[in-house]
Amino acid sequence: MIELKDVSFAYEKNKPTLKHISLKLGGDHENIVGIIGPNGSGKSTLFLNLVGMLKPSEGEIIVDGMPISYHKRALNNLRKKVGIVFQNSDRQIFYSIVQDDIAFALHNLKLPQEEIDERVDRVLKELDIEALRDKPIQYLSGGQKKRVAIAGILVLRSEWLLLDEPTAGLDPDGKRRMLMLMKRLAANGQKIIVSSHDMDFMYEICDHFFILNDGQIVKSGRKQDVFLDEQLLRDCKLAQPWLVKLHQKLKLPLYANQQALFEAQESELKGGESK
């Protein structure tokens, strides 16, 4: 469980970017938590506070019952628990060849070579990037770099995975793969915190949401709690997912994902045919 207690953060004195945030992450049935909010609302700043790269100006962050300690060794231990994939993949790629980059943090942890090889092999397969194994990173596309950056964090097998805009720059197939990967990880018990401006993606993947606006949490809850309030979404410059629009404008049931909608329509069509 990660708990924020009255956390504020300011890059510049007296101009807080995060304002008195109190929340709990990692409750039952909340494997994938979404942080949504307009540009500049503080999502990335919140993520950097969660991994100890920024320190709250006020309040504290408690991970598994212990307040984050900002000493070097404590922060190294925290990174084993909470991994982050930045919005900009270049920020976390250090080595020139894909497999060396993915193995980098594992060498730092001084794991035996055999285990490093096994973990790297597995993650290359999982992300379907085995063909990139020996490629120089400078020749990869943006979407490929994103997958390498994610691989470099997944190998650490941290309990928490923070994904800042994981679908930015991905084509529709890349987005679909990301969705499947996150579902697979969550089904295996991985706790994920994700932020994205793609509301259809977030609606489908997240179990629980926090809306951040101007550094404050203005709403939290499940899909139906946060996405049915049109006025709130407008105030926070957020789009309504298409499944929510179908529900509100066409009075269809509120489907959790497009598969549920298609299955329901299909069985209705079949029912009509058999009459």
Question: Which residues contribute to the site for ligand ATP (CB under 6 A)?
Answer: 11, 17, 37, 39-45
Q: C-beta of 86: minimal distance to ligand ATP in Å?
A: 11
Q: C-beta of 236: minimal distance to ligand ATP in Å?
A: 11
Q: Which is nearer to ligand ATP, 120 or 202 (CB)?
A: 202
Q: C-beta of 12: minimal distance to ligand ATP in Å?
A: 6
- Check if the beta carbon of residue 98 is closer than 8 Å to that of residue 150: no
Query: Which residues does 140 contact at the CB level (< 8 Å), separation at least 6?
Result: 98, 132, 148
Q: Which is nearer to ligand ATP, 159 or 200 (CB)?
A: 200
Q: Which is nearer to ligand ATP, 11 or 242 (CB)?
A: 11
Q: Which is nearer to ligand ATP, 16 or 83 (CB)?
A: 16
Q: C-beta of 254: minimal distance to ligand ATP in Å?
A: 26
- CB count in 10 Å sphere of residue 244: 22
- Check if the beta carbon of residue 83 is closer than 8 Å to that of residue 150: no
Q: Which of 264, 218, 224 is nearest to 240 (CA)?
A: 224
The string of DSSP letters for 128-166 reads T-GGGTTSBGGGS-HHHHHHHHHHHHHTT--SEEEEEST
CA distance 17 to 10: 5
What 3-state DSSP class applies to 73?
helix
Beta pairing class for 15-25 and 2-12: antiparallel
Q: Which is nearer to ligand ATP, 39 or 138 (CB)?
A: 39
Q: C-beta of 189: minimal distance to ligand ATP in Å?
A: 27
- Check if the beta carbon of residue 127 is closer than 8 Å to that of residue 147: yes
Match 């990880």 to its residue by tokens: 185
Q: Which is nearer to ligand ATP, 17 or 158 (CB)?
A: 17
Q: Which is nearer to ligand ATP, 46 or 105 (CB)?
A: 46
Q: C-beta of 47: minimal distance to ligand ATP in Å?
A: 8
Q: C-beta of 44: minimal distance to ligand ATP in Å?
A: 3
- CB count in 10 Å sphere of residue 83: 22
Query: Which residues does 270 contact at the CB level (< 8 Å), separation at least 6?
Result: none
